[in-house]
Amino acid sequence: MAAGNALAAVGYIAAPGGLLLQASGDDAVLAAWNRQSPIQGFSGYGRIHLEGRCLTARAEGAPLRWEGCRLGDKAQVWKLIGDRLSNELEHCAEVLASGRVQAQACNGETGQRWKGLQTEGAEDVARGIADPLVRRMFLRTVAAAPAGGLVSLTTGLPVQFVVAGALDGVVVHLGGGTVVRLAARG
């Protein structure tokens, strides 16, 4: 596979409402962005690692759990194809009305729709902005924004970024599927 065709790393997995798949103890839960750790090493197929544990779905109707990673465990091998997140046992991750996340038979219902949010450096995003004034404004605005602030730029289409923490320089853009990390300033 050519480097240009490599799958991008998925930093976070979000439900339709924008909440992120995260851990609360051993349980998989949905949470609003609050500086959570990103998923490590997932590009759309394989294990979903978070803080040294793997997302696991063993039985239909059972809650999704974060467990120790085990080589060859089909309950821990996931694929994100389109908006469907399912494991090798063909259990789909589903959000229930109660907010719980559990394994269910795949049926395409709204609660089974997910979106991978890619991780990308803010400098890389800035390099993709053709207009040098807009590019500088983007980097300056992000650097100066308070934690939780909203940064909006219009370059044909409005783009919004939620600044997660001015001190650590993390910027999250949930609307377009990109999580942006701005290098920490010294």
The pLDDT of 118-139, averaged and rounded, is 77
pLDDT at 6: 43
Strands of 65-67's sheet, edge to edge? 49-50, 53-56, 65-67, 27-31, 20-24, 10-14, 115-121, 178-181, 170-173, 157-165, 150-155
Contact between residue 42 and residue 49 where contact means Cβ atoms under 8 Å apart:
yes
Side-chain half-sphere exposure of 114, counting CA atoms within 13 A? 25
Averaged pLDDT score across all residues of the chain:
78
Query: Which of the pair, 3 or 19, is modelled with greater confidence?
Result: 19
pLDDT in tens, 7-16: 567 888 988 7
Q: Which domains does the chain have, with CATH numbers?
A: 3-113 (2.80.10.50), 118-181 (no CATH)
CA atoms of 137 and 159, how far apart (whole Å): 13
pLDDT at 186: 33
DSSP E strands, 88-149: 91-95, 101-105, 115-121
CA atoms of 164 and 34, how far apart (whole Å): 7
Split at pLDDT 50, 70, 90, the class of 183 is very low
pLDDT in tens, 25-56: 999 999 887 767 788 889 899 999 998 999 99
Residue among 69, 56, 51 at smallest CA distance from 27 = 56
pLDDT at 29: 92
pLDDT in tens, 112-123: 999 888 766 667
pLDDT at 75: 98
pLDDT in tens, 145-181: 655 556 666 655 555 555 554 334 445 555 555 555 5
